[in-house]
Amino acid sequence: MQPFERHEGLTAPLRQDHVDTDQIIPKQFLKSIERSGFGANLFDSWRYLDEGRSDQRHTQRAINPDFILNRPGFAEASILIAGVNFGCGSSREHAVWALLDYGIRVVIAASFGDIFRQNANNNGLLTIALPEDVVQELMQHSEAGGHRLGVDLQSCLIEELSGGDTREFAIDPIARQKLLQGLDDIGLSLLERSAIEACEQRRCSTEPWVFAPLQDREPSP
Amino acid sequence: MSRTLFEKLWDAHQVARAGGNADYIYIDRMFLHERMGSVALRKVLDRGRRVRAPKQVYGTIDHIVDTRPGRGGERTQVPGGEVFIRAMRKGAERTGIHFYDLDDRRQGIVHVVAAEQGIALPGMTLVCPDSHTSTLGALGALCWGIGISEAEHALVTRTLKVARPQTMQVRFEGELGRGIGAKDLALHLIRSLGADGGRGCALEYAGSAVQGLDMSGRFTLCNMAVEFAAFSALIGFDDKTGDYVKNRTPSALDGTFSDWVSDPGAAFDRSAELDVSGLAPMVTWGTNPEQGVAIDEAVPSPLDCPDIEAAGGALHYMGLTPGERIQGKQIDYAFIGSCTNARIEDLRAAAEILRGRRIREGVQGVCVPGSSFTKRQAELEGLDRIFIDAGFEWRESGCSMCFYAGGESAPPGARSISTSNRNFEGRQGPGVRTHLAGPQTVAASAVRGRIADPREFLK
């Protein structure tokens, strides 16, 4: 996955608390076993006026002009600003895939659903939790349109690119390492390669039949 | 220092510490099925990774596949299920894992096949993305169910990061009467200590009643550990385990496994003991596995249950009245199958009751052998004729009516007696009322058309 060091981009405010993963990507669009292509159905029930079927092309659907990502100047947003408990609900990893597939790289919110945050860390989506009043302030800036931020994970700083305060943010050190190096849980575990190989050697010498082929068997009367 | 069987298995597979009370644990073998394994394989490939040891990974098709005779290709009763069957085949081919497709003589329900084919052996670790993987702990192997992300992790790294569970010994003491089996022990345990009674624990079953069980019964007991909320379950190696694995190991390994037992005096974090002499056949009356009674008992009043509201809701769903007898309730459907109770010994036990008898008119009886191997074994012994002559459908192997996935079902409101493992609302279809029981109780009930005591047939 793509390492995350620094990202500069346009913000969009999603004035909503408790955005759950079913709102991020409704379950009727989870039928595919692919990981890509979910961006078209991101926030589906807010973005479109019709109900939407999984076999429908999104370009043919009726757009809800009031939804923030459909308003002029916000469609290109890559930094989403939301209220409390963003990503609560079902554990579906598709919610993170849909955000990334749409082009979102950073979500700033007052708080996050735990599993959503784990999934985000595993897929290179940076989630930043800030105090509620700071989130409100960012939302106000964002609503004016054309609001750009620089998010630096090395220094854990958020810069106002059109002038203004630079803010610090805190992040779990393991999550930071994973994002900086572009490692998901598996990538992180693979750093233990030599210990894995040592254990494999040990298994080979103490219980070699673990590695042997099976016997062919047939029923007998 | 004396160690429990769990501690020996954990130590032998410990790769490294993983922070907190978690360790990286080495995974000897994996088993995948089309519903979850297909997705895990796909994720590995999509991320450009490879399966570290494909020859240590086995796969088959059991969850979604049609079990009606004449199946083949991608035939399934589950809407959209073809995608998973196709993806499993493709994933297996691209990663080079062992794969038992529908035309393979070894196909069947993952946990039945893993034991039968010697994929799980004493002293091993094995994981599978299915909660009932604990079944295989009866071999003295550490086996547990995982999710898709963990399956992906284990495929690539051959390890899993696992929070160390506590140990809990459960002793069943006493001699079981005729017509009483492992399923009755399991339902009795869960009723006695609650569906949450084993949470966070690696169980070890012991005691004279467990020693007396054959391997099939031991698999059943370990299978149901997950309905007791346990991490997994184990039974120490003994002569019966030795006989079972004798023809399933690559070479003569006599004595090699004898250390896979808890040392005398080894300390468990928790323990429980149940006297099971005089135990009667068990049947569940409610919608979670702790809501069970002995066949000769009455359905309880919610006021006598730990959670009054849950019990009231369960009685309403099940269409039962407090105080009425469970025995004699009319049934519409009888299912003998699943990883819990569809091994050859289970089929023999049911056939003992069905031989020379017919199931009651109006009851649909379905028997789904746990594996294609088991099915052939049963046919060699003529058991298929007994089931068919009794009026049961004789199916191909798969998970079938153990769960509803949008396909096969009984009609809403139908009362089902089933050898499977979960009696949750809707588990066998919308509105279907599931009573869990052992294979002889199910067979006896099918014959009577009412929930019946198998002991009346065994005199």
Q: What is the ipTM of this complex?
A: 0.90
- Are B260 and B343 in a shared domain? no
In a domain, A219, yes or no: no
CATH number at residue B74: 3.30.499.10
Query: What are the tens digits of pLDDT across the range A194-210?
Result: 999 999 999 999 888 88
- Are B124 and B177 in a shared domain? yes
| pLDDT of residue A219 exceeding 80 | yes
Q: Tell which of A36, A38, A193, A217 to mutate to test the B interface (max B CBs under 10 Å).
A: A217
Amino acid at A139: M
Q: Tell which of B158, B259, B260 to mutate to test the A interface (max A CBs under 10 Å).
A: B158
Q: What is the pLDDT of residue B255?
A: 60
CATH number at residue A63: 3.20.19.10
Query: What are the tens digits of pLDDT across the range A29-74?
Result: 876 666 778 999 999 999 999 887 777 788 889 999 999 999 999 9
- Are B39 and B158 in a shared domain? yes
- Are B426 and B302 in a shared domain? yes
- Are B271 and B394 in a shared domain? no
Nearest to B124 by CA among B18, B264, B222, B237: B237
Which residues of chain A are within 8 Å of residue B376 when distances are taken between CB atoms?
Answer: 218-219
- Are B259 and B286 in a shared domain? no
Query: What are the tens digits of pLDDT across the range A162-198?
Result: 888 899 999 999 899 999 999 999 999 999 999 999 9
Give the mean pLDDT of chain A: 92
Query: What are the tens digits of pLDDT across the range A136-148?
Result: 999 999 999 999 9
pLDDT tens for chain B, residues 1 to 459: 899 999 999 999 999 999 889 999 999 999 999 999 999 999 999 889 999 999 999 999 999 999 999 998 999 998 889 999 999 999 999 999 999 999 999 999 999 999 999 999 999 999 999 999 999 999 999 999 998 889 999 999 999 999 999 999 999 999 999 999 999 999 999 999 999 999 999 999 999 999 999 999 999 999 999 999 999 999 999 999 999 998 888 765 656 898 999 999 999 999 999 999 999 999 999 999 999 999 999 999 999 988 899 999 999 999 999 999 999 999 999 999 999 999 999 999 999 999 999 999 999 999 999 999 999 999 999 999 999 999 999 999 999 999 998 888 999 999 999 999 999 999 999 999 999 999 999 999 999 999 999 999 997
- Are B315 and B262 in a shared domain? no
* C-alpha–C-alpha distance, residues B11 and B7, integer Å: 6
Last residue within a domain, chosen from B248, B280, B312: B280
- Are B297 and B213 in a shared domain? no
* C-alpha–C-alpha distance, residues B87 and B183, integer Å: 35
- Are B271 and B296 in a shared domain? no
Contact between A192 and B159 using a beta-carbon 8 Å cutoff: yes
In a domain, A214, yes or no: no
**Count of the separate structural domains present in chain B:** 2
Q: What is the pLDDT of residue B253?
A: 65
Nearest to B148 by CA among B41, B225, B29, B22: B41
Q: What is the pLDDT of residue A163?
A: 84
Strand pairing category for A126-129 and A106-109: parallel
* Residue B21, number of CB atoms within 10 A of its CB: 10
- Are B240 and B349 in a shared domain? no
- Are B106 and B73 in a shared domain? yes
Q: What is the pLDDT of residue A19?
A: 94
- Are B309 and B453 in a shared domain? yes
Q: Is B212 left (phi over 0), alpha (psi -120 to 50) or beta?
A: alpha
Q: What is the pLDDT of residue B249?
A: 81
For chain A, helix (H) and strand (E) counts, in that order, are: 8, 7
B121 vs A34, A196, A209: nearest CB: A209
Name the residue in chain B with its Cα closest to that of A93.
B149
Q: Quick one: A115 exposed, middle or buried, by C-beta within 10 A (0-12, 13-18, 19+)? A: middle
Range(s) of the domain holding residue B369: 282-457
A192 vs B24, B42, B83: nearest CB: B24
Q: What is the pLDDT of residue A59?
A: 82
In a domain, A216, yes or no: no
Q: What is the pLDDT of residue A52?
A: 76
Range(s) of the domain holding residue A88: 6-207
In a domain, A218, yes or no: no
**Count of the separate structural domains present in chain A:** 1
